[in-house]
Amino acid sequence: MITVTDTTAPVIDPAPADITIGCSDAIPGAAALYAVDNCDVNFPKKVTMVQDPFVVDKCNGYTIVRRWNISDACGNAAIERVQTITVNPCPRPELDPNLPANCSSNTKFAVLLKNKVNKPKFTLISVIPATAVATPLTQNSNVFDLNGATQATFAVIDGNTGCSSDTVTYDLQYIEKPVVDLGADVAVCNGESVTLDAGTANAGYNIRWSTGETTQTIVTNTPGTYHVTVFNGICATTDSVKLSVNNPPTIDMADTTICEGSTLRLDATTSGATYVWSTGETTPFIDVYMQGTYTVDVTLNGCTTHDELDVTVATAPNITLTDDVEICPNETAMLTVDPDGGNVRWNNGEVTNSIVVSRPGDYWVAVNRSNCVVTDTVKVVLKSQLDINIGPQRDICAGGRVVLDATNADAVSYLWNDGDTNPVKEVTTPGRYTVSVMDRFCSAITMDSVDVVVAGIPAFDLGRDTTLCLDNVLNLKIDAGAGNQVRWQDGTTGSTYKVTSTGYYTVTVFNDCGSASDQIAVTFKPCEPEPGLPTAFTPNGDGKNDVFRPVVKGPMYDYELSIYNRWGTLVFRTVESRLGWDGRYLGALVDSGSYIWVMGYREKAAGPKIVLKGQITLLR
């Protein structure tokens, strides 16, 4: 018996080459390897791949080992195929070991990176003193308020890889800010200058003014706000000051002459100013009456103006002027002024001592001597006419008499229209009596008249007794005649009386000579409306037939009147029977022509609705 033993192992395809990749690169898929064998009928066949266990560590890197092994049916093992994949570590974040110094007024520090970090998260690990900030503190921002801490330890983590930097401890430095004080706002007078100083202690620092100058001090006289910035290499301080340039107050008081006995007000008033006069007074103005030189110092916003003037006192002229005078119409009067010197001027422009006037009015004269003016006025008035009043209309009864009296103390003669020359006249016949009275001053005639009538009561009639519909009104009217009086049954005295209720109404007309009366009975009753409407109207503004509306006798309920043109357009509508159509639509007068009206109403509040229709012609 012959035994054949297979000692030849299967042969596996060569393994892929070993590779090295970056931490963010994709892991390549496993290659498919096949094996062949010289006697096993199941070959060729795919070889199973097995990976050694590994831990993904992007921060430190890691290795993946892939192995392919297979045996044939005879137990012969193929030579192992191996592929090694090396994954390099991701770059670790790095903090900049240098942290710039801060101004003493700024407690916030910005931690800087040395390399690119994705979505960094910064962690404040600890501070000295430990009470300055609560730690640990993690945030996306690299700016931390360290609240005056002197030392701080930080780390940063890459938000994509999770890799952390080494911790870095910083000694925190604070630089004092320059002290700059330009002082309070400054005001100078026009023509003066001011020196602005950034401070001697800042002389060695970088100084820049808003004017562009870089010196410690600047001199200026231009109004405005000035800024200066001092920079010590780390910290900058800015201050400003406002410069105001004030103009001295304007005072110009001219030399003046005043009259003896008068006063002169010297006025230097300037809003907000203070004053010192040569008299010692400190008011805006002073009143002086003595001759001399007066000075004043006026100070406003620190600026002072000095002014002075001479006051001369002149003796006023004495004048004597004509007394007030009365003149008759068409009469003249001479007005005279008698001064003890100086120039004369009247208000009508004349410069003589005397003027002749013929019109009433106020005439003033001014006398000027050495700029000292005295004025006086004389009144010229017309003598008043006589006050003649022989009374209102006089009534006499038949056979009676009246006395007319025109007596006036300033009259010299009387003349009645019948030739009588007595001031008092007794008349017994009616007529118009006129008296002409001459006054004793100007021989002017004043006239007055009076009518003397015989008292009488004219015939009057209140009409026949009548019956009216409810809600109607009856107006009673009488003509009582001149000089007579009226009295109705209720004591009223007018010439008209409005009747609105059922009853008897009486009127009496009377005078000193007698009286007459009349009476009427008025009855009011309910009536049917019986509305009546015209067939045409003329809205032309002449006050006649200008409005289209119904004439009704009794009450109407739920009343409505609508008017349409020939195209069916509603041109007017009302629910008030006292209102009518004035021929207008939308504010404009419509054309002449025919229009349709529709009226609805109820005779009683709960009665049936009555609807009437008709046609109205509008004529323009």
Residue from 67, 69, 86, 66 nearest 78 by CA: 69
Tens of pLDDT, residues 554-595: 778 888 999 999 898 999 999 988 889 999 999 899 999 999
Q: What is the mean pLDDT of the chain?
A: 89
Cis peptide before 28 (omega within 30 of 0): no
Average pLDDT of the segment spanning 357-367: 89
Q: Which two tokens stand for residue 309?
A: 């003037």
pLDDT of residue 454: 67
Report the CATH number that the domain containing residue 476 is assigned in CATH: 2.60.40.10
Domain match, 285 and 272 both: yes
- The residue from 285, 314, 343 where one domain ends is 314
530 in a structural domain: no
| Pair (145, 171) in one structural domain | yes
d(CA 596, CA 180): 96
Check whether residue 373 and residue 338 sit in a common domain: yes
Categorise residue 528: left if φ over 0, alpha if ψ from -120 to 50, beta otherwise.
Answer: beta
Name the residue range of residue 222's domain. 186-246
Residues 518 and 545 both lie in one domain: no
Q: Does 181 fall in a domain?
A: no
Which of 334, 361, 382 terminates a domain? The answer is: 382
Residue 93 domain-assigned (yes or no): no
pLDDT of 204? 87
**Is 231 a domain residue?**
yes
Q: What is the pLDDT of residue 97?
A: 94
Are 63 and 29 contained in the same domain?
Answer: yes
Residues 268-287: tens digit of each pLDDT = 999 989 999 999 999 999 99
Q: Are residues 493 and 553 in the same domain?
A: no
Q: What are all long-range contacts of 289-294, with beta carbons under 8 Å and residues at least 24 apart?
A: 289/258, 289/261, 289/262, 289/263, 289/264, 289/313, 294/266
Same domain, residue pair 498 and 519: yes
List pLDDT tens digits, range 63-73: 999 999 999 88
CATH assignment at residue 44: 2.60.40
**Is residue 211 very low, low, confident or very high in pLDDT (cuts 50, 70, 90)?**
very high
Instruction: Examine residue 6 and state whether it is found in any structural domain, yes or no.
Output: no
Q: Are residues 239 and 267 located together in one domain of the fold? A: no
What pLDDT is recorded for position 398? 67
Asked if 541 and 614 sit in the same domain, the reply is yes
**Is 70 exceeded by the pLDDT of residue 60?**
yes
The dihedral through the CA atoms of 161, 164, 170, 174 has a sign that is positive
Percent of the chain whose predicted confidence (pLDDT) is above 70: 98
> Do 106 and 167 belong together in one domain?
yes
Do the bridges between strand 333-339 and strand 394-396 make them parallel or antiparallel, or are there none, so unpaired?
Answer: unpaired
How many folded domains does the chain comprise?
8
> What is each CA distance from 412 to 48, 326, 328, 424, in whole angstroms?
166, 19, 16, 14
DSSP state of 249: P
Q: What is the pLDDT of residue 149?
A: 93
Chosen domain end from 55, 87, 119: 87
- Does 584 fall in a domain? yes
> Phi and psi for 202 in degrees, rounded to 5?
-100, 10
Determine the distance from the C-alpha atom of residue 288 to the mean position of all C-alpha atoms in its chain, rounded to a whole number: 48
Judgement on whether residues 163 and 113 belong to the same structural domain of the protein: yes
- Asked, for residue 388, whether it belongs to a domain, the answer is no
Pairing of strands 593-602, 557-564: antiparallel
pLDDT digits (tens, 9 = 90+) for 398-437: 667 888 888 888 888 989 999 888 999 988 888 888 988 8
Residue 508: inside a domain: yes
pLDDT of residue 192 exceeding 80, the answer is yes
**74 falls in which pLDDT band (50, 70, 90)?**
confident
- Is the entire prediction scored with pTM above 0.85? no
Could you give the CA distance from residue 174 to residue 110 in angstroms, rounded to a whole number?
14
Is 90 exceeded by the pLDDT of residue 142? Answer: yes
Please indicate, yes or no, whether residues 488 and 473 belong to a single structural domain of this protein. Answer: yes
If one counts every other C-beta atom within 10 angstroms of the C-beta of residue 109, the result is 22
What phi and psi, each to the nearest 5 degrees, are found at residue 200? -60, -35
